[in-house]
Every structure is written in C-alpha cells, then in structure tokens.
Structure 1
Amino acid sequence: MTLSDKFQSFRVFARKVGRLTVPYFQSEEKWKARLLLAAIVALNLASVYMLVLLNEWNRVFYDALQNKDEVVFWRELGRFTYLAFGFIIIAVYRFYLTQLLEMRWRAWMTGHYLDRWLSNKAFYQLELTRFAKGEDAPPDNPDQRIAEDMNMFTSYTVSLTMGLLNAVVTLVSFVGILWVLSGSFAFSFNGSDYTIPGFMVWMAVLYCAFGSVITHYIGRPQIALNF
C-alpha cells in the first residue's frame, strides 16, 4: 500500500469516526457535552502543569537537602503539601468528569441507535434486504453490538483523545527542561569533532520512536484477532 493509499484510508476512517462522534455534540445535550469536554481538557492541561511544578519542587527540595538548608527544606515540605493536594483534586475530578462524559455519551448513543434500529421496523427490513441481495446470514446480534460497542467506542474515543492531548502537552512542557538539563554531547569521529546539543532529548525521542515501532509491529496483528 502506497503512502497515498494509506492517507486515503485514514481520511475514510476519520470521516467514519466523525459521523459517529459529532451527532452527540450537536444533539439536545450539546451544551452539557461541550462543557464536560472543555472541563476535561482544562483538567488535563492543569494536571500537566502540576507535574511541571512538582518537577521544579523536586529540584529545589533535593538541592536543599544537599546544601543542608533547613529553611528551604521546611518551606518546600510545606509547599509539597498543597501541590500534592492540588494534584489529587485535579486527578479525582478529571477521572469523575471523564467517566460522566463517557456514560452520558454512551446513554445517548444507545438510545439513538436503538431508535434507528426499532423505528419503522428497521430490524425487520434489514433481514428482508439481505435476503433480497442473496445474503443468507442476518445481521449478527445488533442489540448486543449496540449495548457493547457503544461502550467501547465512547470509552476508547475519550481515553485515546485525552491521552494524545496529555502526551503532546507533556512533551512540549518537559522537552525544554530536559534540553537544559542534558547539555551537549561531544565526540570525535574520523579525525573530526562533533557536538550534539540537547543530547538526552534526542536519545529520548529515539527511544520512544523505537518502542513505538516495536509496539506497532507486535500489536498490529492482534487487532484482527481481537476483532
């Protein structure tokens, strides 16, 4: 499959996901859904910000231990209390609102697709249509698919989307810190001297890329097995 074919397949997939996703956020519950989504995004951003603050706290606290600075030690110990408390509050509410959005979305989609399946005897027309086309098997367990697939779709969509957002924001937030801490790596090769600035950043990127490739090739065949 060429790159163009893969891009076209991705566009088709994205349109299918869009057709499933957009209706809920344009439904009669759209304002509740949009506010919940906005709150979850804000809490995810806040959690990354708290991680940055905790990372900075670690530096100051352990520098104080190294320098035996009692004043800074007790000050940072007190600061950790409200940083940890704030992080816990954000994490709990992020989890709660995420679960709430998933349940509301699942309930709406279940009702929506049940109405489509049952209205005008669509469930009966499906069997007639397949029989007219010469297809022997009726649709397999539409009610079970509605019950289970709606749950999987909503939970995976929210978790994967928020996971991607978290990963991107965390990368942007911490790459600068790692760049400053890592410094440069100098080496000689074939009589010439070379310097790689931000060496640990590039090593981290290579490590993640290698792990992602391995995961892709090991995990991809399991998609069909799971299906």
Structure 2
Amino acid sequence: MLHLFAPYWGARKRWRAWLLVLLWLAITLGSSWLYVRANELTGELTDALLARRWDVLKKVIWMTIGVGLMVGALGVVRTAIIDLIDLDWRTWLSNHYLEQWFSSNAYYDIDPDGALSNADQHIAEDVRLFANSSVVNISNMINVIVNIVAFTAVLWGLSGTLTIPIGDGSLRIPGYMVYVALLYNLAYLMLVHWVGKRLIVLGMKRQTVEANYRYSAMQVRENAVQIALYGGADNELQRLRRRFAKIRDNVLATVARNAKLEMTRTVYGHLFAVLPTLTALPRYFAGEITMGGVTQAVGAFGQLSASLGYFQESYKSFAMWLALANRLRDFSWAINKAQARPNGFTVARASQDGIHSSVLTLRTPDGDALADVAPLQLAAGSRTLVRGPSGTGKSTLLRTLAGLWQHGAGTVTLPAAARIMFLPQRSYLPSGTFKAAMCYPMMPDQFDDATCRRVLDACGLGGRITSLHTRDNWQQLLSGGEQQRVAFARVLLQRPDFVFLDEATSALDPATEARLYEALINELPDTAIISVAHRTAVAKYHDDIIELVPSAAQAA
C-alpha cells in the first residue's frame, strides 16, 4: 500500500492534514486517559457501595458523569477531524488518478488493450472507499494501540505477582493477567484469520462483478433504441441476469464465510467469558485486592482484550481494505502499462505547412498486418479521400495521422502549430447545455450565440437554434444524423487546420451530406480535409484519392 500513502502524506503541502492528525492524536491520548480514569472510578464505586460510603458514592457518581461527558465531546471532535482528513485524502487521490488516467491518452489506450475493466469505477468508487477505509482503519488502529499501552500498564499494576508452588520452590509471574490476555487474543486472531482469509478474494471479486452489472445496465440505457430495433430485449435480459447471478453467487459465498466467522467469534467468546474473573480471583482470595480491585482488574482485562480484539473483530473491514488497495494497484499497473507500451510510430511536430509521412505499416493490436501506405504529403487546403476494402485500415490510417494509433511502424510529421480535429462515425456529446455540446472540446463562452446560430443553420440544425441554453442528455436525445451534423458544426466553429472525417456522414441522406461538405469547403477553404467514406458521391469533394489495399502478409 505504500504507493497509495507516500505521495500524499509525503508531500510538503500536506501540513494542514498533518496538523489535523496531531490534533486527533492529542484527543486520542486524552480520551485514553479518560477511559483509564473511568475504570478507576468503577472500582471506587464498587468499594463505596460495599462500604456503604454514601458521601464517597455521590462524589464518584458525579465524577463518572463528568468523565462520560468529556469522552462524548472529544468523540464528536475526533469524528469531525477524521471526516476532514478523509475528504482531503479522497480529493487528492481522485485528482491523482484522474491526471494519470488522462495523461498520454491512457484513458484511450487502456480499454482497447483490455488490460482493465471499469476504469471509471476505480476512480469514482474504489478511491472513495479506500480513502474512507484507510482513515477509519488507521485511526482505529492508533486508538487501539494507545489503549493497549494504557490498559496494559493498568492491568500489570493490578495483576501483581502470581506465585505458583512447584515442589520445594515456586514460580513467580509478575503481571500474569497481561500474559493471559495476550495469549487469549493471539489465539483468537489466528483462528479468525484461518476462517476468514477467503473474504479478501471475495471482496475483490464483489467490486468487479457489481461494476460489470452496473456497466451492462448502463449500456442498455444508452443503446435502448438500437436494442428495441433489433428486438434484443430477451438477449439483454439474459445478459443482465447472468451478470447478476455472479453477484448473487459472490454474496452467497460471502454470507457463508461471514457466518463461519461469526460462529467462530461467538463460540470462542462464550467459552472464555469468565476468563477475566478467574484470573483475578487468586489475588482476591489471597486478600491482596478488594472487590473494587477485582472489578478494576476485570474491567482493565476487558478493555485490553477489546483493544486487542479489534483486529479480529474488524477482519472483514481489513479484508475489504486490502481488496480495494489491490484494485487500485491494478488500476495503476494498467495505466503504467498503457503509457509504457512502445509506439511503433514516431509522431513529431515541425515547422512546415502540411502533414508528411514515411511509408506507414499499419497493424492490429495483435500484430496482424493491415496495409502498407506509401509516403503522404497532405498540404493545407487539400482534400483527400481514403478508400479501400473493409479491413484494410482506413480508420486506422486516420488515427495514425492524428497520433492515436501505436501499432505499426513509420514516421508522421505534423505542422508545429496545426489545429487538428477528428470526427468519428459517432461523436461524443457531453450532457449539459446544447451550446456546450456543440462547442466541445472548447468552452461555450469562447463563441457568441450569434455565431453558433449561424453555424447551426448552415448544418441543417435550424430547429435547435432555440435550444442553445437548454440542458439535456444530447447523446441520447439526438438521432445519429443530428449528432453527425453537430460534429460538423463544431468544425465550422473551431476552424481547424486539418479535419479527419471517419465515416462522419454515414447516417445522413445524400442531400444533407452534400450540404455539409459544401459548407466545409466554402467556409474553410484553407482547411485540409481527409475523409474515409464508402459512398462514391463523396469523391467529387476531394482532389486526391488514397487507395488502400491489403498488405502482402494479410493477402497471404
């Protein structure tokens, strides 16, 4: 877990977090002292009752009430401090993983590689649970350690020395009740670990199967129209049932394991319930301590056992904590793997007017050959159409020129200050205002409303002019053809130097397709257009054609 702790707690700017930790430690030490004092008052109360000392009894009762109020007040402050540390650490971890996820296109490279599923859940859910589990478990452990030290000292003093006659001599064991408590809880911990260690694996699996189920349900929601058109409701129902069956199996296995763990705790606790009293009786019968002393010794034994028993009582929590740490470790590993993956293409920027390339060898992620592309020279304002049979790498060529493909070999040189836009067959439309969706990835305040309305009209979206500041889930609301027209509106707004169109008009009728290409050519005469399209009518809007043919290795 060190890689999850060190970057945050070792940073110089974490002085506020450390200040909160120091304040929390001071409160913890104060609370521990109050618990020790409360145990002493319990003994004094017992002796006062036995001696019928009503004056002493009233004093002890008021002192006990005061100690209880102080413990409660400190507990409230301590909880608030823990919550603040939890929030600060979660904020840092979220930003840390978000930066890693988006750096060097790791968010794009992880999924195609299949190295990790549900990356979003690692950031949104696992980070939250890990930060909370870490703060709660560590604070509890420190609190437990403080109480162990305090009540070990108390119990050692109350135990005195146990003398065991052996033949003509004797064996003297000072602080014998401490040893009994340690042996009792050590055996308890070993037994709990043996029974409950399977919970770590089950905890990791639960996070995965829950995320897979949510993701499948989200896919149904996002693709409801296509599923309905295919008549795929039964298929999706069975798929979700299979995913949920894995959740059910995991929960049942966890319930069974928890039942075994609880049974172990219950049986062990009842078998040794009288152990504290039995260990204190030798000194009481020897007249070395009063009944109040027995009460204090039993209370100290119980407090020490409760503190030592925290580790076995919290075994499930520790198991889940470790499972979350392992998932975040896997997430970091997947990001590092994606970032460290060798790129067969060299993509550079230089002071030049167009895009130049060497011979480009395009391959699949598995290394299978797609096509060999002759050297390219795409000048500013040029219009190039990429054609070829399916599977020859037309889309892959565009991704390579945009610097998004790593599998293959060759060199691509881009103009130093060139602005490039890539229009896939289905463009991403973020939820929010319609203006924000059409201006993406730039901010909506970078364009005035009048310009946006003019562009919408040019792209055949006049009906959306009044929706500029309407908020909705546009990815779901707009049809495929409307989404493609929004993508063209983005190009007309942002006026890039190069625009790659990957089947960007596949959902449009020929008349609308012609209107959009003509709008690009008329309004952006200096923008180079590189298109992938199957319709022959698109060819008239391009000056050059690149014909891709299967590579010799693929043909063979």
Question: Smaller-chain TM-score range?
Answer: 0.7 to 0.9
Name which of 153, 156, 164 aligns with 2:130.
153
Instruction: Name the residue aligned to 2:187.
Output: 210
CA contact (8 A) 1:54 1:83 kept: yes
Aligned twin of 1:163? 140
Cα distance in 1 for residues equivalent to 2:90 and 2:166: 59
Instruction: State the alpha-carbon separation in 1 of the partners of residues 7 and 167 from structure 2.
Output: 62
Tell me which protein shows more helix as a share of its residues: 1
Deviation (angstroms), 1:188: 4.1
Aligned-partner residue type, residue 32 of structure 2: V
TM-score (normalizing by structure 1):
0.80
Unaligned runs of 5+ in 2: 205-556
Contact 1:44 1:162 in 2 (8 A): no
Aligned pair in 2 of structure 1 residues 146, 103: CA closer, same or farther (>3 Å)? same
Note the C-alpha offset of 1:106: 0.9
Residue by residue over 1:71-102, the C-alpha shift from the partner in whole angstroms, topping out at 9 and shown as x without a partner, is 21111222122211110011111112112211
Q: How many residues align?
A: 204
Instruction: Name the CA distance, whole Å, in 2 between partners of 1:223 and 1:26.
Output: 28
Go from structure 1 to structure 2 and tell me whether the alpha carbon gap of 1:126 and 1:205 turns closer, same or farther (over 3 Å shift).
same
Instruction: State which of 178, 182, 197 in structure 2 corresponds to 1:220.
Output: 197
Q: Which of residues 63, 79, 82 is equivalent to 1:79?
A: 63
Q: 1:20 to 1:62 in 2, by over 3 A?
A: same
Higher relative contact order (CA 8 A, sep 6+): 1
Q: 2:29 aligns with which of 22, 38, 45?
A: 45
CA contact 1:182–1:198 (8 Å) conserved in 2? yes
Return the match for 2:95 from 98, 111, 136. 111
- The alignment's TM-score, normalised by the length of structure 2, stands at 0.35
Question: What corresponds to 1:65 in structure 2?
Answer: 49
- Offset at 1:191? 6.7
Q: 1:206 to 1:28 in 2, by over 3 A?
A: closer
CA distance in 2, matches of 1:223, 1:117: 26
Matched, 1:54 2:31: no
Structure 1 residues without counterparts, runs of 5 or longer: 1-16, 131-136
Correspondence 1:199 to 2:167: no
Question: 2:158 is matched by which residue type in structure 1?
Answer: L
CA deviations over 1:45-94 (Å, ceiling 9, x no partner): 22211101111111222222221112211112221222111100111111
Q: Which amino acid aligns with 2:79?
A: F
- Given the superposition, is the C-alpha separation of residues 42 and 143 from structure 1 closer, same or farther in structure 2, using an over 3 Å criterion? same
User: C-alpha distance in 2, partners of 1:192/1:81?
Assistant: 48
Q: Is contact 1:60-1:76 (8 Å) kept? A: yes
CA distance in structure 2 between the partners assigned to 1:21 and 1:222 by the alignment: 23
1:140 CA displacement: 0.7
Which amino acid in the other structure matches residue 219 of structure 1? G
Cα distance between partner residues in 1 of 2:63 and 2:33: 15
**C-alpha separation between the residues in 2 aligned to 1:192 and 1:26?**
57
In structure 2, the partner of 1:141 is 118
Bigger shift: residues 17-26 or 60-69: 17-26
How do residues 8-47 of structure 1 correspond to structure 2 at under 5 angstroms? Answer: 17-26=1-10, 30-47=14-31
Q: Tell me, what secondary structure is at the counterpart of 2:172?
A: strand
- Deviates further, 160-169 or 199-208: 160-169
Closer, same or farther: CA 182–152 of 1 in aligned 2, 3 Å = same
Q: Compared with structure 1, are the counterparts of its residues 223 and 190 closer, same or farther at alpha carbon in structure 2 (3 Å cutoff)?
A: farther
Aligned to 2:76: 92
The 5 A counterparts of 1:116-127 are 116-127=100-111
User: Comparing 186-195 with 201-210, which one deviates more in the overlay?
Assistant: 186-195
Secondary structure of the structure 2 residue equivalent to 1:196 = strand
In the other structure, the counterpart of 1:5 is none
Q: Indicate the larger mover: 23-32 or 211-220.
A: 23-32
**Are 1:186 and 1:193, in contact at CA under 8 Å, matched by a contact in 2?**
yes
Matched, 1:175 2:147: no
Contact 2:111 2:117 in 1 (8 A): no
SS in 1 for 2:162: strand
Are residues 186 and 221 of structure 1, via their aligned partners in 2, closer, same or farther at CA, if it must alter by over 3 Å? same
Measure how far apart 1:31 and its partner are. Answer: 2.3
CA distance in 2, matches of 1:67, 1:179: 26
Q: CA RMSD in A?
A: 2.1
Q: Is the 8 A contact 2:20 2:81 kept in 1?
A: yes
Identity across the alignment (%): 29
1:127–1:139 Cα contact (<8 Å) kept: yes
Structure number with higher strand proportion: 2
Larger Rg: 2
Please tell me the residue identity of whatever aligns with 2:195. I
Does the residue aligned with 2:117 lie in a helix, a strand or coil?
coil
